[in-house]
Structure 1
Amino acid sequence: MSIDLIVVLVLLAVAIAMFAMGRPRMDVVAVLAIVALPLAGILSVPDALSGFADPNVVLIGALFVVGAGLSHTGVTYRLGDWLAARAGRDGRLLVVLLMLAVAVLGSIMSSTGVVAIFIPVALSIAARTGISPRQLLMPLSFAALISGMLTLIATAPNLVVDAELRRAGLDGFGFFTVTPVGLVVLVLGIGYMLVARRFLGGGPTARGASARTFSTLVADYAVDSRVRTFRVEPGSPLLGRALLGLEVGTAHSSVLGVERRRLLRGTTLTAGAETTVRRGDTLVFDLAPPEERLDELGLVEVELPGDFFASYSRQLGMAELLVAPDSAAVDRSVVELRIRSDHDLTVLGVRHAGRAVGPAFLERRLALGDTLLVAGAWETIRRMRAAGGDFVVLDLPVESTEAAPAADRAPLAILSVLVMIVLMVTGTVPNVLAALIAALLMGAVGAVDLKTAYRAIHWPTLLLIAGMLPFAQALEQTGGVDLAVDGLLAVTGGAGPYLVLAVLFAITALIGMFVSNTATAVLMAPVAITAAQHLGFSPYPFALIVALAASAAFMTPVSSPVNTLVVEPGRYRFGDFVRIGVPFTLVVLVVSVVLVPVLLPF
């Protein structure tokens, strides 16, 4: 064993120890590795920084933007709404649909991002159905991990293993190479969780009874008794006029928003300064125009859906404002405060001494402690909350966690993803270009803006991959990979390739309990490929087994960020993951060892 190899192994051991302790952060450890390898004379500076030039780093960054587009347009939340409507209060069906939705979405975007999106969806469903979050959130995390076994781009370890194959001069995996195994694991995982969730017990509902929703706010301020909707007919004198300050015959009438047909579905726009009336729009009025003026205005009343506000809560925000001490709003009316023109928010109602003020709330003088219900864009509400001033924005309703400001762009966002998948499956362009094209399309169609795109990229993940890739190169140059392969072959002896696959899976899964699965894939992929070459077998089944094992991070809450995210909202303990995760990991091991050689023969 050379001095250089000893140095690399020591650095690797230190990095693994820091990964296990969680101090410092994983991305900082990766940067330390980038610095340490050249300083130790193991790699040149260009080699140490070569990870940043790896196409998969750019590919993963682009996929974060694509995922943000799906979230920003509400595609993910609509999936949640759909499964809640289909399952009702049937807990078993809810688990099945939830796992399917998460797995399908996770196959084309970051599984961590999918879980972050679906946690509030699952909690909302739990609150509505009375099902304990403990019985929903662990199935959610398991489905997100399994999603990594469904497509090439579903998780970073797949891309890392694919890159290692190409670096060894071999063809990479296809887009759906891993899919047959993943589908079998998904079916088994759903069946397993239907049984295992019984051992998770019950627990408190997702939200307490005091949580505010659009429905409770609308009822508390008696808004539902005043709101009516009217369709704008051809020839209406309102066409082309701005909604803000629209005069319809009474000082108290105001337009809360407009429901407009766009592509495949409707969207609700707030009555902002730039929003104008178009033919076919449905105007939502708080206090309707006088009956005698409807024909003159070209308005025809249409039925208001019972859940109107809730159904458009991803676009139309709602919040309560408290009149603060020493506020300039005291003893002034809503009209005098010019909240609509100054803050682009519509006041829906006022409560005084715990009771809703009647239809004349716009003229009532406000007192300290009064609250106002306002509606407008979520971004506007959050901006007002941060700015402070004469009003204190109280806790936002639960719907605020599911805001989708670009909901009307959902069909175009889905089309962008389909373009990416077609390009990847057909091989028309390299995967990284396909992902970049999809990210650019997301921006072009308005699904994301630049600020959202940059915020969506999980930079620690990219730093981790870029920092760990040079470790694999250092191990190969110093003989570390050959040493690991010799040890693997010594343990397995002449027992045959199936045992080698099983041992590779077990080692990868065990290392993944303490180290990021991406870092684990970086370290184990070259070992698997070299072991196959030494044994005289095809490297593909050995490489694929590493990718599958890296996604099988079911055993502890720290095995993957996916698990960590659900621990607190699900009130899970470390032992819950051990009891449920270890048996399922063994199931995945057996399935992988049996199926992988069938798909990719030795």
Structure 2
Amino acid sequence: MTLPLAMVLALLAVAIVLFAIGRPRMDVVALVMMVALPLTGVITVPEALAGFADPNVILIAALFVLGEGLVRTGITARMGDWMTRRAGASETRLIFFLMVSAAALSSIMSSTGVVAIFIPIVLRMARRMGVPAGRLMMPLAMAAMIAGMTTLVATAPNLVVHGELVRRGLDGFGFFAFAPFGVPILALAILYMFVARRYLGQSAQEEPAPRASIREWIDDFALEGREMRLRIEPGSVLAGRRLDQLDLRSSAGVNIVAIERPGPRRTELRLPRAGTELAAGDVLLLDVLGDHADIDRFAAANRLRALPLGQGYFTDRRQDLGMAQVMVPPTSTLVGRSVVQTAFRTKRDLAVIGIRHGATPVTGAIVDEPLRAGDTLLVMGTWKAIRRLASERRDLILLDLPEEADEIAPEADRALAALAILGLVVVLMVTGIVPNVQAALLGCLLMGLFRCIDIAGAYRAINWQTLVLIVGMLPFSLALTRTGGVDLAATALTDALGNGNPRLVMAAIFVLTTMLSLFISNTATAVLMAPVALAIADTLGASPYPFAMTVALAASAAYMTPVSSPINTLVVGPGNYRFMDFVRIGTPFWLITLAVVLVMVPMVLPF
């Protein structure tokens, strides 16, 4: 062993130890390695920094942006809702649908991108079902990795091995040549995670204090029983009248908070304005200021039908109708004036539905209550209008948003555009018309062009910690190759097993490929191991296909550490995992995968 190789291996060992103990953070360790490797003289500083220009790193960043576009347009929320409905209250069914969905999508596009897209979906589902996110994140990562064993384009190592066969004048693998092995392994992984999930989500995690829900705010502001819904029936004298002509606040003792109007595709929610003309079929959401008996008489006299207002009404309408708490500061021009006098709704497109003087909620006609410095107002309106409150400083201070705000899709009306863009990106990646990174960047530009995401949101969407970790570890691939470390391992394998039992040789190839994938990219591992596997097949006088397939499958089986795959790295933070969580859960299933490969590959691809 040469001195440069010894220095590189020593740095690699230090990195693994630091990863294992979890101090400092993994991205900081990667930065340390990026600085230390050039000091060995094996690689240069530009080579250590070259990962920032690596197409795969750019691809991952672009896929984060595409994923955020799906989140902002509500597509991920709908996917999560579908899986949650299918799963019901069963965590087992949720894991099944999650792993099948992730694997199916990962079989035709970048599995790293799929995980980036699914992470917000999984966090939302975990929050809804009250289970730790760690019980779902590793099943997601494992399914995405196994998807690399299902189709030719599912992962780069498959294409590398296919290309090596073609270069030797042999027929390459077909599109679904990997499926006979990947599908059974996926099925076993699902069964395995049904049991292994019990050992996940156990790490202590300092959770931020949960925000209050809309339901809790209704209690805090004593709104219970004040809300009503009345539908304008055909023949009502209100139909065709403008709100400023009716003045329902004075004549009926009600404050119209919102109007539900049937549309061609779905019911639209509109905020009332003075010039709004009512129509038959409109449903008025009211804040009752007086006696309910008076409202009942008013409804009967004007052909208005009372409709139920369930506890989940505001939650079900969370995409259209939001709430926020704001405070009136001492400098506010609103102090001493009532909500009506300030023309609050006209100026801000928001309705004040609750007021608290200190901790005491105001009852009765709140719109006529003079406002005081320090009052807390509960306002209702569109999320767009609520977000504009953040720019106010003198008159109002935005205090808090409800927990439902985390699930809002601010660009829900652009969901079809986002789906079309995603479909285009997938088609470009599957067909190979342009490189994957170019297809993803085109998708990002189209997401911006169709306003599915803005520039600030795109930058926020990128998980920079993950990218730094990947970039920092990439130079080890070049350093190990340049110092002869990889060649040394391959030669030792050929010398030790070149004339052995074919299944034993396959096992050794599988183990070595996976071990290399723990430290260098699986694509680089496939580039190095595919020629070795084919040379061993020639030595044995056996078919090259089972050995080539073994390399491809092993390159997608590096489940055992959080840095063995970008997929694992992505879920470390959201799942609150430690290094040993991957060792404890990934190693047993790696052994199961090895057993499946040794049994099934020779059956489908005889020696």
> Given the two structures, how large is their TM-score scaled by the length of structure 2?
0.73
Cα-to-partner distance string for 1:410-449 (whole Å, 9 max, x where unaligned):
2322222222222222333332333233323322333222
What CA distance in whole angstroms lies between the structure 1 residues aligned with 2:139 and 2:333? 53
Structure 1 residues 471 and 567, CA, compared in 2 at 3 Å: closer, same or farther? closer
Aligned residue number for residue 119 of structure 1: 123
What CA distance in whole angstroms lies between the structure 1 residues aligned with 2:321 and 2:135? 31
What CA distance in whole angstroms lies between the structure 1 residues aligned with 2:53 and 2:172? 18
| Alpha-carbon distance, 1:185 to partner | 3.2
Structure 1 residues 325 and 477, CA, compared in 2 at 3 Å: closer, same or farther? same
Structure 1 residues 389 and 55, CA, compared in 2 at 3 Å: closer, same or farther? same
Aligned residue number for residue 58 of structure 1: 58
What CA distance in whole angstroms lies between the structure 2 residues aligned with 1:201 and 1:46? 40
Q: Does 1:412 align with 2:409?
A: no
SS of the residue corresponding to residue 319 of structure 1 reads strand
What CA distance in whole angstroms lies between the structure 2 residues aligned with 1:265 and 1:118? 27
What CA distance in whole angstroms lies between the structure 2 residues aligned with 1:280 and 1:553? 63
Residue of 127, 149, 157 corresponding to 2:146: 149
| Alpha-carbon distance, 1:216 to partner | 4.1
SS of the residue corresponding to residue 365 of structure 2 reads helix
Structure 1 residues 331 and 430, CA, compared in 2 at 3 Å: closer, same or farther? same
Q: What letter matches 1:69 in structure 2?
A: G
User: Mean alpha-carbon deviation: is it higher for 591-600 or for 453-462?
Assistant: 591-600
Larger Rg: 2
User: Mean alpha-carbon deviation: is it higher for 17-26 or for 56-65?
Assistant: 17-26
Structure 1 residues 125 and 167, CA, compared in 2 at 3 Å: closer, same or farther? same
What CA distance in whole angstroms lies between the structure 1 residues aligned with 2:526 and 2:367? 68
Aligned residue number for residue 78 of structure 1: 78
Structure 1 residues 247 and 469, CA, compared in 2 at 3 Å: closer, same or farther? farther
Q: Does 1:474 align with 2:472?
A: no
| Alpha-carbon distance, 1:57 to partner | 2.7
Structure 1 residues 600 and 4, CA, compared in 2 at 3 Å: closer, same or farther? farther
SS of the residue corresponding to residue 347 of structure 1 reads strand
User: Mean alpha-carbon deviation: is it higher for 1-10 or for 71-80?
Assistant: 1-10
| Alpha-carbon distance, 1:12 to partner | 3.6
What CA distance in whole angstroms lies between the structure 2 residues aligned with 1:247 and 1:178? 71
Contact 2:164 2:531 in 1 (8 A): no
Contact 2:327 2:375 in 1 (8 A): yes
The 5 A counterparts of 1:572-583 are 581-583=586-588
Residue of 519, 542, 548 corresponding to 2:556: 548
The 5 A counterparts of 1:29-40 are 29-31=29-31, 33=33, 36=36, 40=40
Aligned residue number for residue 311 of structure 1: 316
What CA distance in whole angstroms lies between the structure 2 residues aligned with 1:443 and 1:449? 6
What CA distance in whole angstroms lies between the structure 1 residues aligned with 2:202 and 2:44? 56
Q: What letter matches 1:487 in structure 2?
A: A
Contact 1:228 1:285 in 2 (8 A): yes
Structure 1 residues 330 and 585, CA, compared in 2 at 3 Å: closer, same or farther? farther
The 5 A counterparts of 1:521-600 are 521=522, 524-536=525-537, 537=544, 540-551=548-559, 560-561=568-569, 564-565=572-573, 581-595=586-600
What CA distance in whole angstroms lies between the structure 1 residues aligned with 2:470 and 2:58? 11
SS of the residue corresponding to residue 146 of structure 2 reads coil
| Alpha-carbon distance, 1:484 to partner | 1.8
What CA distance in whole angstroms lies between the structure 2 residues aligned with 1:386 and 1:414? 32
What CA distance in whole angstroms lies between the structure 1 residues aligned with 2:563 and 2:43? 35
Contact 2:72 2:410 in 1 (8 A): yes
| Alpha-carbon distance, 1:72 to partner | 1.4
SS of the residue corresponding to residue 340 of structure 2 reads helix
What CA distance in whole angstroms lies between the structure 1 residues aligned with 2:232 and 2:163? 59
| Alpha-carbon distance, 1:482 to partner | 0.7
What CA distance in whole angstroms lies between the structure 1 residues aligned with 2:478 and 2:277? 62
Residue of 247, 250, 255 corresponding to 1:249: 247
Structure 1 residues 340 and 423, CA, compared in 2 at 3 Å: closer, same or farther? same
Residue of 393, 397, 400 corresponding to 2:405: 400
| Alpha-carbon distance, 1:483 to partner | 0.7
Q: What letter matches 2:119 in structure 1?
A: V
> Given the two structures, how large is their TM-score scaled by the length of structure 1?
0.74
What CA distance in whole angstroms lies between the structure 2 residues aligned with 1:550 and 1:177? 21
What CA distance in whole angstroms lies between the structure 2 residues aligned with 1:255 and 1:157? 51
Contact 1:321 1:392 in 2 (8 A): yes
What CA distance in whole angstroms lies between the structure 1 residues aligned with 2:44 and 2:584? 46
What CA distance in whole angstroms lies between the structure 2 residues aligned with 1:160 and 1:403? 38
SS of the residue corresponding to residue 350 of structure 1 reads strand
Cα-to-partner distance string for 1:1-45 (whole Å, 9 max, x where unaligned):
444444443444444444445455444555555555555443456
What CA distance in whole angstroms lies between the structure 2 residues aligned with 1:102 and 1:574? 23
The 5 A counterparts of 1:427-442 are 427-442=432-447
What CA distance in whole angstroms lies between the structure 2 residues aligned with 1:172 and 1:465? 30
| Alpha-carbon distance, 1:265 to partner | 5.7
Cα-to-partner distance string for 1:239-266 (whole Å, 9 max, x where unaligned):
9x9xxx987634564454766858x666
SS of the residue corresponding to residue 365 of structure 1 reads coil
Structure 1 residues 213 and 429, CA, compared in 2 at 3 Å: closer, same or farther? same
Cα-to-partner distance string for 1:488-528 (whole Å, 9 max, x where unaligned):
44565644454445445545666778x6xxx4536643442
Structure 1 residues 349 and 492, CA, compared in 2 at 3 Å: closer, same or farther? farther
What CA distance in whole angstroms lies between the structure 1 residues aligned with 2:501 and 2:259? 69
Structure 1 residues 573 and 36, CA, compared in 2 at 3 Å: closer, same or farther? closer
Cα-to-partner distance string for 1:85-121 (whole Å, 9 max, x where unaligned):
3343345434433444555566653425523442232
Aligned residue number for residue 130 of structure 1: none
What CA distance in whole angstroms lies between the structure 2 residues aligned with 1:246 and 1:187? 64
What CA distance in whole angstroms lies between the structure 1 residues aligned with 2:281 and 2:39? 66
Q: What letter matches 1:67 in structure 2?
A: G
User: Mean alpha-carbon deviation: is it higher for 448-457 or for 367-376?
Assistant: 367-376
Structure 1 residues 293 and 448, CA, compared in 2 at 3 Å: closer, same or farther? farther
SS of the residue corresponding to residue 61 of structure 1 reads helix
User: Mean alpha-carbon deviation: is it higher for 585-594 or for 575-584?
Assistant: 575-584
| Alpha-carbon distance, 1:478 to partner | 3.1
Contact 1:385 1:392 in 2 (8 A): yes
Report how many aligned residue pairs link the two structures.
574
Q: Does 1:373 align with 2:378?
A: yes
| Alpha-carbon distance, 1:464 to partner | 4.0
| Alpha-carbon distance, 1:548 to partner | 1.7
What CA distance in whole angstroms lies between the structure 2 residues aligned with 1:184 and 1:350? 60
The 5 A counterparts of 1:94-493 are 94-101=94-101, 103-104=103-104, 109-112=113-116, 114-126=118-130, 133=131, 137-150=134-147, 158-159=155-156, 181-196=181-196, 212-218=212-218, 221-222=222-223, 225-228=226-229, 249-250=247-248, 253-256=255-258, 285-287=285-287, 306=310, 307-321=312-326, 331-336=336-341, 339-340=344-345, 344-351=349-356, 357-358=362-363, 360-366=365-371, 371-378=376-383, 381=386, 384=389, 396-489=401-494, 492=497
Q: What letter matches 2:143 in structure 1?
A: I
What CA distance in whole angstroms lies between the structure 1 residues aligned with 2:27 and 2:321? 37
| Alpha-carbon distance, 1:51 to partner | 3.6
Aligned residue number for residue 292 of structure 2: none
